[in-house]
């Protein structure tokens, strides 16, 4: 019996060792599978992060291009309207010249003075015209709130409703920007 017992013990030990080896082999296989899953997950995460960074880079580049375009448009507008503050200050001078020229003259001396003032006025008009200042046409045209400021209304049956009857103060625009709307009297 002792022999048989020894054989049985040995068989049990061998089975135990085989089981341990199986378990170790299964654990290694499981660990390898886990490592592969982790590597795949890490790879997926890295790919997602790379994609996010690419998208950020594209958005940043587009934002920068938009910024450059806005700065360029601002520079062009600044250059286009660079004379606006000076021309706005000159508008009352033009009004005063027009008032002075509207006064009737009675003597030859006054007529000579008016002729000199008219020459200065025309020179000033030429200079501001070169910078892009233009008078706004008002009399006889339909009222447009973008160009005209109605300060009075009057009834004139010979003209259509909404037509400007009289310009009370001349309006001006600089290229396509209104510096001062025309003050007008409009037909009811």
- Do 68 and 91 share a structural domain? no
- Do 139 and 106 share a structural domain? yes
The pLDDT of 51-77, averaged and rounded, is 95
pTM higher than 0.75: no
Q: Domains in the chain: how many in total?
A: 2
Residue 27's pLDDT band, with cuts at 50, 70 and 90, is low
- Do 88 and 180 share a structural domain? yes
Enter the tokens of residue 14: 């061998």
- Do 71 and 95 share a structural domain? no
Residue written as token pair 């013990």: 9
The more confidently predicted of residues 80 and 186 is 186
- Do 94 and 74 share a structural domain? no
State the Rg of the chain over Cα. Answer: 46
- Show the domain range for 162: 81-187
- Do 169 and 95 share a structural domain? yes
3-state secondary structure labels for all residues of the chain: CHHHHHHHHHHHHHHHHHHHHHHHHHHHHHHHHHHHHHHHHHHHHHHHHHHHHHHHHHHHHHHHHHHHHHHHHHHHHHHHCCCHHHHHHHHHHHHHHHHHHHCCCCCHHHHHHHHHHHHHHHHHHHHHHHCCEEECCCCCCECCCCCEEEEEEECCCCCCCCEEEEEEECCEEECCEEEECEEEEEEC
Residues in contact with 132: Cβ distance below 8 Å, sequence separation at least 6, in sequence order: 80, 83, 174, 175
Residue 69's pLDDT band, with cuts at 50, 70 and 90, is very high
pLDDT in tens, 6-24: 566 667 676 776 766 666 6
Residue written as token pair 């054989």: 7
């Amino acid at each position: 019996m002792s022999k048989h017992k020894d054989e049985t013990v040995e068989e049990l030990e061998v089975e135990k060792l085989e089981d341990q080896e199986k378990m170790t082999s299964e654990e290694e296989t499981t660990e390898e599978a886990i490592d592969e899953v982790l590597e795949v997950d890490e790879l997926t995460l890295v790919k997602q992060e790379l994609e996010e960074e690419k998208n950020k880079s594209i958005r940043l580049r587009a934002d920068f291009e938009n910024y450059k375009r806005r700065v360029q448009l601002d520079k062009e507008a600044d250059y286009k309207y660079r004379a606006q503050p000076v021309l706005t200050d000159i508008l009352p001078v033009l009004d005063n010249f027009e008032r002075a020229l509207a006064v009737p003259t009675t003597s030859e001396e006054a007529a000579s003075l008016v002729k000199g003032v008219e020459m200065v006025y025309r020179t000033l008009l030429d200079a501001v015209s070169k910078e892009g200042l233009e008078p706004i046409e008002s009399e006889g045209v339909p009222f447009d709130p973008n160009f005209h400021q109605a300060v009075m209304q009057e009834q004139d049956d010979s003209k259509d409703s909404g037509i400007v009857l009289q310009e009370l103060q001349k309006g001006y625009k600089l290229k396509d920007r209104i510096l001062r709307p025309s003050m007008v009297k409009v037909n009811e």
